[in-house]
Amino acid sequence: MDPRAYVCAHLERRYLDEHPELTPAARELVHAEVLSRPAKYAASPHDQALLAYMEAHERLMAGLAGMDDLSDEEFDERRAQLFSEARQVLARIAQGDQLCVDARLVSILLADVPLDSALADLLKLEDEIRGHLTGAVAGFDLNAPGYWDAADLARRGITAAERTVSEPACIGWLHTLEAIASLCLASARYRAAITYARRARAAAGYPNHAEGTVLLALARLEDEEGFFAFAHELSEDAGADAADGLTLDDSPWYLLARTILLYKLDKRRAAQRALRTFAERCDGGAFFILNPTYLDPYLPVRPAPHNSWDLAHQAVWEADGIIADTPDFATWAEGVDGVLAASEAFAARNGF
């Protein structure tokens, strides 16, 4: 979730809780004012730490976006410098406020350490923040729908979704779950990836595509029954389509994972049909399978899409290790009727 979204939601909720006498019209004014001038409402040291993280994250992402035209050598040098500077800023924020979870999380993800070391640090952070939420945050309940106690929500007069988005520690915890799931998938810990991704999906008011991690992991495990049972669960769960308005039939993770699963099960005709569907429905899907293309790291989780092909790019990038470990998949994909043509057409349209 974008920091500006949840930091502003937190500042607005705190202000409204402190001013219950405000009329509906006044509340609308507060909402607009917080979005345009969040610093005015960051009264406490914790609020100021959150605001500092939001600004640091925006500088980091803007810096990455400005490197597209650099040579490989310049890119590596500038990115290393950017990451080092960002880590220093994030370390200062986290040192001043350990509950600015995302500052700690992104700092871990930026560290130049082996994947297993990063994963170990993430697991420690997740355990600590989960303990804080269960022990110190009123209404948080790991066993409740959406993670919030219904009676507490009723007392506050808000929904579980509103409670989630206005509690930065909860958002940081959910980001940490997603980051762990992503690293577990990348390091072939498929069962663990499924577990952590499902935990992230269970939250209310937290747009995400953690289902993509589950689908890819189940495909890699060749768990046909589990894969289609989960797909059925997604199709019945209205919340599964909350992120980006994406339906299951248009999900690049579902369509790509289904292709991989059927290929691995040696159901080649069905796999060909699945791949053609992926290429037809997912802009850029064919191109990214045939032309592995660099994707900026998730800091801390999948960013919201800006281009029509961003989600397809994310799905293929996340499946890269699985594809590389599946003999002849890329060669087979290029030979499927229509896939190469779709790739070339996409490249011509978009200047790739």
What is the Cα–Cα distance from 93 to 111, expressed in whole angstroms?
Answer: 16
Single out the residue of 192, 170, 193, 179 nearest to residue 105, CA to CA.
Answer: 179
Q: How many CB atoms lie within 10 A of CB 222?
A: 12
Amino acid 69: pLDDT: 85
Supply 181's token pair. Answer: 């799931």
As a three-state string, the secondary structure of 24-82 is: HHHHHHHHHHHHHCHHHHCCCHHHHHHHHHHHHHHHHHHHHHCCCCCCHHHHHHHHHHH
pLDDT digit string, tens, across residues 26-76? 999 999 999 999 999 999 999 999 999 999 999 999 999 999 889 989 999
Are the C-beta atoms of 115 and 188 separated by less than 8 Å?
A: no
The mean pLDDT value for 322-342 works out to: 96
Q: How far is CA 73 from the centre of its chain?
A: 29
**C-alpha torsion 130→200→143→127, nearest 10:** -20
- In the chain, domain spans: 207-352
- pTM of the shown model: 0.96
pLDDT at 323 over 50: yes
3-state secondary structure of 335: helix
What is the Cα–Cα distance from 53 to 1, expressed in whole angstroms?
Answer: 13
pLDDT digit string, tens, across residues 255-311? 999 999 999 999 999 999 999 999 999 999 999 999 999 999 999 999 999 999 999
Are the C-beta atoms of 125 and 176 separated by less than 8 Å?
A: yes
What is the Cα–Cα distance from 83 to 351, expressed in whole angstroms?
Answer: 29
pLDDT digit string, tens, across residues 122-155? 999 999 999 999 999 999 999 999 999 999 999 9
Amino acid 183: pLDDT: 98
What is the Cα–Cα distance from 195 to 302, expressed in whole angstroms?
Answer: 18
Are the C-beta atoms of 317 and 295 separated by less than 8 Å?
A: yes
The mean pLDDT value for 100-106 works out to: 98
